Amino acid sequence: VNLDQSTYNLGDIVRGQALANDQFSTPFGTVDLYVRAKNPSGQIVENTRMQALNGSLSFEFRLAPNAPAGTWVIDISDKSTFT
């Protein structure tokens, strides 16, 4: 996962890209993936199913004006549950 910046402020838009590859680093074709963001409090604040085309996925979401400060986790997988 690559993000457009390393730190964000309240209300900022988080923009990112990911590349879905197999074990040989070959991009997948079209595949459904789940993009999830978990805030420092452990709450899932983004859980979106998206389609990666040729293994490439772009996503964005806005941080809430009252979002907690700290380390967030962004998870992208083909599973519908957050781990």
**pLDDT for res 80:** 60
Say if residue 82's pLDDT is above 90.
no
CB distance 33 to 76 below 8 Å? yes
List the structure tokens of 49. Answer: 């199913």
**pLDDT for res 72:** 94
SS3 at position 80: coil
**What's the predicted TM-score (pTM) here?**
0.79
List the structure tokens of 28. Answer: 């997948």
Query: Phi and psi for 15 in degrees, rounded to 5?
Result: -120, 135
| Sheet (strand 2-3) strand order | 2-3, 13-19, 56-62
Q: What whole-number percentage of the chain has pLDDT above 90?
A: 67
pLDDT in tens, 7-40: 999 999 999 999 888 888 888 888 899 999 999 9
DSSP structural state of residue 60? E
